[in-house]
Amino acid sequence: MTIEVGGQLPEATFVRMGAEGPELVKLSELTKGRKVVLFALPGAYTGPCSTIHVPSFVRTAADFRAKGVKDIYCVSVNDPFVLKAWGEATGGTAAGITFLGDADGSFTRALKMEFTAPQIGLHGRSNRYAVVLDDGKIVAANVDKPGVCDISVGEALLQKV
């Protein structure tokens, strides 16, 4: 599958940290009847993910909400424990970003967005992309080339909303 305007993302079950611990949530439940942003990146605590990608959505969160976006989701091939700590460390959680684990990478593989960089210890991670979904339909999409972090950042996606 490719990510393109007018398409839909495949159904997925993510894991997130809830009040009682890890909980499963379906993508369709997060997007039904709502306008949301979903962005994906290689991994928690990695260089550009922590210093460029997540901060760009922290900076633009209020602007997205002013344009009718109800929720902002960050997807990574990580477990919910790491994502919870990382969301708190980056300020993403405080900005209202929800961190979702594609723990086994199945969603990433279904999108054909897997990214591997063995020289830095990353295997089966996600390439960077950002989409705006309206009731599950892709209305805006930016996909970076592997190893690049420029068009999938918050500011670039905001221009398309």
CATH number for the domain including 121?
3.40.30.10
Range of the domain at 141: 13-158
Distances (CA, A) of 69 to 5, 122, 142: 17, 31, 17
Q: Is 49 a catalytic residue?
A: yes
First vs last Cα of the chain: how many Å apart?
A: 23
The domain tally of the chain equals: 1
Catalytic-labelled residue, pool 37, 49, 72, 153: 49
Q: Is residue 28 part of a domain?
A: yes
Q: Is residue 8 part of a domain?
A: no
Q: Is the pLDDT of residue 59 over 90?
A: yes
Give, as one character, the DSSP assignment of residue 12: -
Element (H, E) at 22: strand 21-26
Q: Is residue 1 part of a domain?
A: no
pLDDT score of 151 = 94
Q: Is residue 82 part of a domain?
A: yes
- CB of 126 within 8 A of CB of 75? yes
pLDDT grade for 123, boundaries at 50, 70 and 90: confident
pLDDT grade for 116, boundaries at 50, 70 and 90: confident
Which residue, among 48, 46, 44, 11, has the nearest Cα to 30 in the 3D structure?
11
Q: Is the pLDDT of residue 143 over 70?
A: yes
Q: Is 161 exposed, middle or buried (0-12, 13-18, 19+ CB in 10 A)?
A: middle
Q: What is the value of pTM for the model shown? A: 0.95
- Residue matched to tokens 């989409």: 131
- Could you tell me which residues are beta bridge partners of residue 16? 23
